[in-house]
Chains A and B, each alone.
Chain A
Amino acid sequence: MSKQKSSRPTKGDVRNRRKHRDTDTTKPVADLQDSDSQHFKQRRRSSLRAGLAVMGGRAAGALSRRLHLGGGTSIAGLVAQSVYPGIVGHLSKQLAHGSILVTGTNGKTTTSGLIAAILSDAGFRVWRNREGSNLMRGVAGALVIRAQPNGHLRRSGQAISIFEVDEAVMSQAVRTIPPRVAVFTNLFRDQLDRYGEVDSVSARWRYAVSLLPDTTTLILNADDPSTAQLGELFSGKVMYYGIDDPSLDFAAQQGPAAERHQAIDTRTCPFCGGEYIYTLQYYSHLGHYRCSKCLRTRPEADVRAVKVSTDGIDRLRMQVETATQQEEIVIPLAGFYNVYNALAAIAASLALGIARDPIVSGIEQFKPAFGRGERVQVEGRTLRLLLAKNPTGFNEVLRTLFNNGTFRHLLLVLNDNVADGRDISWIWDVDFERIVQHIATLTVAGTRALDLALRLKYAGIEPQDISIVTSGPLRAAKSIIQSKAHRMRGRGRLATAEAGRGSELIAIGDGLINQVSTKGYGIANALDSAIRRTPADETLFVVPTYTGLLEIHHELERRGLTPHYWEEKGP
């Protein structure tokens, strides 16, 4: 490793020199040599650079893993890309069965997981950027860690790769990896601080679609107008998937008044600006719609779920129809949105010509990715982790948990780190009002625990019923209480009383009562507090944002409760 590390500066030099030669000196050389040998030379050159890139990337990844900085996949990709920017294109060309790209706001990971399960049941060797980094560096990393120092992928014979790609970098991904299948799941508001607005993502997607080769099959969600519209811009083959089950209409389920409270992210037609009119609305802006102005309607779905029902809290049952087939499939996942993920996976598999059996078995035996509902046993309680990173995702998680009026134990974690989005104002668009009557215990944590507690207070939950575990002490409060306590102690009026488990009351003089926390700070204490409040044999539902989920995983790993996620075996 040290040898590779010391060679890194030289690599940079090589790259610079090569760049010069590539751009400045190819013309005169071409005059002297025939084009074949030049081509050969260039290929050798790029292969050499790829080799260096692979070595550098893998060294950095190994180092990062050794230092416990993380899985090391992203850093491997980052280093490899800086050594050789074309590394992704170079490596992905060697995949015998090409690539599948999956993008969209929600459902990327589950959809690509389902596709992977189906394809590996069909006998393919499936490669993914499964560690969740879906920027280009994650894609690069996923390839680099499977490459040899000579710039060749290991055992690429039966290989097909599935990459989940961040919605903002889809056009870059399309340009470097012309995919066999491109899946667009949906578009919701998410991380507005990073993307600006939903419309700007939509514009980037239209550009990405314009870069697709005609040989690609485009898989689109017919029920989401912001993805379905992309089909009109593409000259190649398009397959739509959607739900045709009027009993799932939101207004029919909840009454028309409920409709107004939904976070709706797409209201107007991108072609003419007319408002959409819905005949069926499942959630947010997903449903059967038509434009009031130009009369564009939802495209007919090639793969459609005609009957969807829940099968216990953990599973969904759906009747799927295509032009030629009909099948009942049980999805081992909770949450209505997983119907869309399964339909997308089925459509993608059909586009690749996969037969019925692997499709059914791949979906029915699917194991959820981390943060998508998996269970962990802790101290006699069951923990279930459900990632919620934007208002629509959060609403759907709540809808799944509270659909039959059961009381639930909840731990909510709200972080505002860069990967979560620095803006947390979306919590005010989440319908916490609907869960107020059905909470058994509630713990909130994270860097913005107080904001979330405040949101819940305004939803109608009494603050004293919320156990708040912040990520650190409030200095201001500390200094005020100290000075106050000091003054009061002098006059002998400080009284301390026990007030329930985990907290004490300190009453100080003039009506100021301080509930002093003994819960401590940070995610480990939050987890402990929430587990303590959950009776044995019951389930604690943990709903974190993205980095909150990573922290919870890290904490569970530390306690030896889940495998390190980068060591997870592929399906």
Chain B
Amino acid sequence: MKEASEPHFTLSLGHLYPDQLNLYGDRGNILTLRRRCELRGIELRVVGLGIGDALAPDEYDMLFIGGGQDKEQAPVAQDLYEIKGIGLWAAIEDDMPVLAVCGGYQLLAHYYRPANGPDMRGLGVFDAWTIHKGAHVPRCIGDVAISWNGSTLVGFENHGGRTYLGTAKPLGKVLKGYGNNAEDHTEGAVYRNAYGTYMHGSLLPKNPHFADFLIALALKRSYGRTNRAAENLVQPMDQNNGSTPTAQHTKASKWPSKSRSRSQQGIEDDPVKFLTPLDDTLEWEAHAALLERMGLYTAAADALRRSIEAGTVLHLHEISAARE
């Protein structure tokens, strides 16, 4: 599949249960990953993995699993445990980037306990569990913002279950909204390169840095360690003006060491820095606008300032007040 002489890069995204877990516009996450890859000359193949399909970890570079309704989640939980469980575990232990949103997140934890009915068994990737306390406890619904990796993530949450973390690390700290359980200010969970979160919205369009982070993780994992040159994909910031890179001939050199020579920072430290920056003005305006809608003005200004400094905001659309 991946020919050494071919300067064309391909990533395969396994989309788990696209027909069952498709609520709340999570399709936006796939569209975002695909387009952000395309703009960098990377082909993103999306493979739907439905009920009954096996999951062969070698065939994918990243995985996505969305959220669904309770009724549709039960057969999915069974299939995930019985058919895809081993493959998924192997992939995650092998550092494959996985994004699990809402229902998918719940199914990657130990169990989901509905208000009535039997527990739904999860994979236990995250040391966490989810309890639905019944119809009298209000659902966690609303805009949500969390701090993540020195920046912010914004989205919309809508979940009845409360998730409690055992030893699992949270994805971030809640700045506004409910998060995992509306009690301890944690949101989501992380294990190796698997990320679980309750954030819809869709999550990735308004958080381009997180989308790029996942793409970079996949590139690093799939190309970085097979002694393949990938510098036509990943360029140091100062040489780039935000345009789509043209495919160049790859040089036969070890990518990680080559990368280090071009920049002080290794790809291990911050893989995103090696991706071609895109013009994300609209993304960051939408991100900042949502933060401001939640009253997080400082966070909004920080997010916008950071992205201007990173060169991903090139022109702002709506700043009539600037002239006054």
A193 contacts B by Cβ under 8 Å? yes
Once the chains bind, are B301 and A475 in contact (CB under 8 Å)?
yes
Contact for A463 among B32, B281, B288, B311, CB less than 8 A: B281
Pick the residue among A196, A478, A519, A520 that contacts B139 (CB under 8 A). A196
Q: Are B71 and A273 in contact (CB under 8 A)?
A: yes
In the complex, whether B86 has a CB less than 8 A from a CB of chain A is no
Contact B308 A512 (CB under 8 A): yes
Candidates A268, A426, A477; contact of B24 at CB < 8 Å: A426
A400 to B27, CA, bound (A): 23
CB closest chain-B residue, reference A512: B308
Judge whether B282 and A457 touch: CB under 8 Å: yes
Cβ of B285 under 8 Å from chain A: yes
Complexed CA–CA distance, A424 and B142 (Å) = 11
Among B20, B28, B314, contact of A512 (Cβ-Cβ < 8 Å): B314
Q: Which segment, of B197-205, B224-232, B263-271, faces chain A? A: B197-205
| B300 contacts partner chain A, Cβ-Cβ < 8 Å | yes
Cβ of A495 < 8 Å from any Cβ of B? Answer: no
- Identify which of A193, A267, A477 contacts B304 (C-beta below 8 A): A477
| Cα separation A478 to B301 with both chains bound (whole Å) | 9
A474–B143 Cα distance when bound, in Å, is 18
Chain A residues with CB under 8 A of B35? 458
B69, B205, B304: the one within 8 Å of A454 (CB): B205
CB of A263 to closest CB in B, whole Å: 8
B237 at the interface (CB under 8 A from A): no
Tell me which of B206, B292, B320, B323 contacts A451 (CB under 8 A): B206
Q: Which of B25, B69, B202, B283 is the most central at the interface, judged by chain A CB atoms within 10 Å of its CB?
A: B25
On chain B, the residues within 8 Å of A518 by CB distance are 320
Q: Tell me the smallest distance from the CB of A250 to a CB of chain B, in Å.
A: 16
Query: By the criterion of a CB under 8 Å from any partner CB, how many residues of chain B are at the interface?
Result: 59
Closest chain B CB from A422 CB (angstroms): 6
Please state if B292 and A515 are interface contacts (CB–CB under 8 Å).
no
Q: Are B71 and A473 in contact (CB under 8 A)?
A: no
Interface assignment of B72: CB less than 8 Å from any CB of chain A: yes
Contacts A429-B25, A454-B283, A480-B304: A517 and B318 contacting too (C-beta < 8 A)? yes
Residues B201 and A514 in contact, CB atoms below 8 Å apart: no
**B contact residues around A458 at 8 Å (CB):** 28, 31-32, 35, 205
Interface string of B291-323 (1 = CB under 8 A from A): 111000100110111001001011111111111
Which of A192, A450, A514 is the one whose CB lies under 8 Å from B322? A514
Contact, CB under 8 Å: B160 / A477: no
Q: For the complex, what is the distance from the CA of A428 to the CA of B24, rounded to whole Å?
A: 8
- Which residues of chain A come closer than 8 Å to B168, judged between CB atoms? none
Task: Give CA–CA (A277, B305) in the complex, Å.
Answer: 52
Closest A residue to B205 by CB, please name it: A454
Q: In this complex, which of A422, A426, A480 has the most chain B Cβ atoms within 10 angstroms of its Cβ?
A: A480
Interface residues in A188-233 (C-beta closer than 8 Å to B): 189, 192-193, 196-199
Question: Which B residues have a C-beta under 8 Å from some C-beta of A?
Answer: 19-20, 23-28, 31-32, 35, 69-72, 75, 139, 141-143, 156, 158, 160, 200-202, 205-206, 279, 281-283, 285-286, 288-293, 297, 300-301, 303-305, 308, 311, 313-323
List 19 A–B pairs whose Cβ atoms lie within 8 Å, in order of A's numbering. A192-B158, A197-B23, A426-B25, A428-B27, A450-B286, A454-B205, A455-B205, A470-B289, A475-B292, A476-B297, A476-B300, A477-B304, A477-B318, A478-B319, A478-B322, A480-B305, A485-B322, A511-B314, A512-B308
| Known A199-B69, A454-B206; 15 more pairs at CB < 8 Å | A193-B141, A196-B160, A197-B69, A422-B143, A424-B201, A428-B202, A474-B288, A474-B300, A475-B300, A476-B301, A480-B304, A481-B322, A511-B311, A514-B316, A516-B320
Closest 3 CB pairs of A and B: A428-B28, A425-B25, A428-B25
